[in-house]
A and B are shown apart, each in its own frame.
Chain A
Amino acid sequence: GINAEYGTPPHLTSTLNKQPNRFIMSIMEYNGGAVVAMVGKGCVAIASDKRYGVQAQTVGFDFEKVFRIQERTFVGLTGLATDVQTMASKLEFRTKLYELREERQMTPKVLAHLLSQLLYEKRFGPYFTEPVVAGLDGKGEPYICAMDLIGAQELAKDFVVTGTCTENLFGMCESLWRPDLEEDELFEIVSQCLLASVDRDATSGWGAVVHIINADGVRTRHLKTRQD
């Protein structure tokens, strides 16, 4: 990175120990990002930021982190960008085969289970991504769940969050969410939760996308955000 070419800025080196600057973030923070999913009345929302960054530098603002894996099921992934893309590809592979063989859609619950298995397979050399599943099952019941990088599932009835600003997201969601939100309210609330959270996170933001899934289909909206 920059430090290799020009040397570490003097104000960031220790005068005593001459240690190199700790500018390497953890692998999960290298690219940054945020995804949140929420349950509403007969619907679910899933939203993410659009930043593609390499540590402090932003390299793109159109980066897809939420993928429509089935008709009514989305998966949002944060963490290392390459693993976000790889997991999305692996899921597409598996769900395509499922669809062809079983001639039906995979339910969100089953998808989450599959995702968990795929992650645990790499238990001792994992994919650095923590996904979120959001969708409606065959009967139109909302389903959301989050996972850590080795597939431990967390089922929730209200909301799930993942990314580099989960503390912010938890705080916002806990404050703003309430049960039985109608679609328009859900959209407002999930958007506010995401925006307020990423605005206080250096490595998230640069645009946002929100999907609202109901029994009739999906509404996708792109949000104009602070471009910093």
Chain B
Amino acid sequence: MARAYDARTTIFSPEGRLYQVEYAMEAISHAGTAVGILSTSGIVLAAEKKSVSPLLEPVASSDKMHKVDSHVAVAVAGITADANILVDHSRLVAQRYSYEYGEPQPVEQLVRRVCDMKQGYTQFGGLRPFGVAFLFAGWDEQHGLQLYASDPSGNYGGWKARAIGANAQAATSILKQEWNDELDLDGALKLALKVLSKTMDSTTLTPDKLDFATLTHSEAGGVAFKLLGNKRMQKLLDETTLDNTEDD
């Protein structure tokens, strides 16, 4: 019954739904899970790297995590090609702001601009929406560390912890139970790993299946966005497996 109304993005169904937007969200639910967790000393972005084929050349840069400006980074869930357009657009937006104002763009403003672009594709042009959900992690002087999530409709929200992509509901229920406002960066890293280990369907976790990153701020050093290297990742895996076995 819904099929008659999904040909055009820019119209509502009789029930008041936008089917193309919902279908875009369906596309995202097949993409590798990404998790964002706010802690007292930084934000953790973690993602499952879904490798399509062992023949694929490993790329130096990640297709799940991107730096947008010195003070903002994103984790991606969805159609990579769509994401690349939006990431590049957000980089331009951030630079245009700092060119004009001589300051880094406030994080929410940047998120809003990206979401406004996504929203446009649900209302004008007859083009399909972007099949991408983002987790934005950033720091600005006004509001400190912030985590935002956006979806294909152009909606966004600020979160303490959030999961997008495959098994997001399962991930969210774990986050609801385990997140607390006293988590430090290490605690957040372990929680992120715990969540991903439950949502990923692989039996053993190895660094090459995961992309972990932290965004931190210090008075002296400013904002730092770091992807965890293999060694650090392995160390985290070892530490967390030990924790889990102790619980059992």
Q: Which residues of A contact B98 (CB under 8 A)?
A: 92-93, 96
* Alpha-carbon distance between A97 and B92 when the two chains are bound, in angstroms: 7
A100, CB-defined interface residue at 8 Å: yes
Given A89-B102, A92-B98, A103-B60, 17 more pairs with CB closer than 8 A: A89-B99, A90-B99, A92-B99, A93-B95, A93-B96, A93-B98, A96-B69, A96-B70, A96-B95, A97-B91, A97-B92, A100-B67, A100-B68, A100-B91, A101-B88, A101-B91, A103-B61
Contact between B69 and A100, CB atoms less than 8 A apart: yes
Interface size on B, residues (CB 8 A): 14
* Alpha-carbon distance between A97 and B88 when the two chains are bound, in angstroms: 9
Q: Which residues of A contact B88 (CB under 8 A)?
A: 101
* Alpha-carbon distance between A96 and B98 when the two chains are bound, in angstroms: 11
Q: Which residues of A contact B95 (CB under 8 A)?
A: 93, 96-97
The size class of the interface chain A forms with chain B is under 10
Chain B: CB-nearest residue to A85: B102
Output the least CB separation between A91 and chain B (Å).
11
Chain B residues 63 to 84 lying within 8 A of chain A, measured CB to CB, are: 67-70
* Alpha-carbon distance between A90 and B99 when the two chains are bound, in angstroms: 7
In the A-B complex, the 10 residue pairs with the smallest Cβ-Cβ separation, listed nearest first, are: A93-B99, A93-B95, A100-B91, A103-B61, A96-B95, A89-B99, A97-B95, A100-B67, A97-B91, A97-B92
* Alpha-carbon distance between A132 and B158 when the two chains are bound, in angstroms: 45
* Alpha-carbon distance between A150 and B82 when the two chains are bound, in angstroms: 39
0/1 string, A91-133, CB within 8 A of B gives 1: 0110011001101000000000000000000000000000000
Q: Which residues of A contact B99 (CB under 8 A)?
A: 89-90, 92-93
